């Protein structure tokens, strides 16, 4: 007997995932105190002979689309040090409805250091995402935060004409807001990115944010690496140094060629995570 099925009534499966990592300093090394994984969110720690501890975030769903929800939480204890990255670029696929939501809650205690260095986010046509990064720094804590985004891969003939992309960053120290920014484009994304106020026709960009006492000491070297396709500034905020850099490029490869030496400079002896390649 033949049965007719109305697939329009079947709800599409959506990602609902959460990962949490808490690290502390014990016996002169950074060690895991808590590791939690739920759904498609996985964390792996490559073997390292010395600090910082390296953590690799994995979305086993292979990408995000409308209605997906992915949350990460990383806490670095007093005197501990961690580098957090992703296994691969996060891909934002076409959304038939809804918006993908990504939340990143980061916290660093006194004397701790966090380098948040995920690989690029690749935006496809007709995708939709809202991402939020919240960072809480204790007095004496340091952090290097980076996010890079590529709107279509030129080498593969991809073009992004319609999409919605929203990125919101908030950083606090001693309960005071010391950095806030919002970047939002769409739905007619190609015309907006082409304007001089946005990317000026470029297809890739990165934001790099460093909080440390001697952040300003890196400003000249950072500007030399960035060149004219971007810029960098340094301030003293809430008793701590702050360096903000932005880079733009025509494609992801060109962006990464300048981003890698910049991150190696700002992350000092820790360098880049093992999964990063050019």
* pLDDT of the residue at 83: 97
Examine residue 75 and state whether it is found in any structural domain, yes or no: yes
Inter-residue contact 14 to 68 (CB < 8 Å): yes
Examine residue 195 and state whether it is found in any structural domain, yes or no: yes
* pLDDT of the residue at 11: 52
**Spatial CA neighbour of 17 closest among 2, 39, 45:** 39
| 28-34: long-range contacts, CB 8 A cutoff, minimum separation 24 | 30/76, 30/80, 30/81, 30/82, 33/77
Q: Region 72-79: what's the mean pLDDT? A: 98
Per-residue pLDDT band for 142 (boundaries 50, 70, 90) equals: very high
Examine residue 180 and state whether it is found in any structural domain, yes or no: yes
Examine residue 178 and state whether it is found in any structural domain, yes or no: yes
- Under 8 Å CB-to-CB from 22, ≥6 apart: which residues? 32, 33, 34, 35, 74, 75, 77
pLDDT at 135 over 90: yes
pLDDT at 9 over 70: no
Examine residue 151 and state whether it is found in any structural domain, yes or no: yes
Range of the domain at 53: 15-270
Examine residue 82 and state whether it is found in any structural domain, yes or no: yes
Examine residue 130 and state whether it is found in any structural domain, yes or no: yes
pLDDT at 199 over 70: yes
Look at the chain and report how many structural domains it folds into: 1
Per-residue pLDDT band for 193 (boundaries 50, 70, 90) equals: confident
**From 27-36, 39-48, 143-152, 267-276, the region with the lowest mean pLDDT:** 267-276
Examine residue 7 and state whether it is found in any structural domain, yes or no: no
């Amino acid at each position: 007997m033949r049965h007719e099925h109305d697939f329009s009534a079947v709800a599409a499966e959506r990602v609902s995932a959460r990962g949490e990592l808490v690290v502390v300093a014990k016996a002169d090394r950074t060690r895991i105190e808590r590791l939690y994984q739920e759904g498609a969110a996985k964390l792996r720690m490559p073997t390292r002979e010395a600090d910082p501890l390296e953590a690799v975030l994995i979305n086993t769903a292979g990408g995000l689309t409308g209605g997906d929800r992915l949350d990460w939480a990383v806490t670095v204890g007093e005197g501990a040090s961690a580098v957090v990255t992703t296994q691969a670029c996060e891909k934002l696929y076409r959304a038939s409805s809804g918006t993908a939501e990504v939340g990143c809650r980061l916290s660093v205690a006194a004397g701790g250091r966090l380098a948040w260095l995920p690989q690029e986010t690749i935006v496809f046509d007709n995708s939709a995402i809202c991402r939020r990064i919240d960072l809480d720094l204790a007095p004496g804590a340091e952090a290097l935060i980076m996010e890079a985004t590529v709107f279509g891969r030129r080498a593969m003939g991809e073009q992004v004409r319609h999409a919605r992309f929203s990125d919101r960053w908030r950083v606090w120290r001693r309960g005071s807001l010391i950095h806030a920014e919002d970047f939002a484009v769409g739905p007619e994304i190609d015309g907006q990115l082409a304007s001089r106020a946005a990317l000026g026709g470029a297809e890739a960009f990165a934001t790099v944010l460093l909080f440390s006492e001697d952040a300003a000491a890196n400003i000249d070297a950072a500007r030399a690496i960035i060149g004219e396709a971007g810029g960098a500034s340094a301030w003293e905020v809430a008793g701590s140094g702050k360096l903000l850099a932005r880079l733009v490029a025509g494609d992801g490869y060109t962006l990464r060629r300048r981003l890698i030496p910049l991150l190696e400079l700002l992350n000092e002896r820790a360098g880049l995570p093992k999964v990063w390649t050019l």
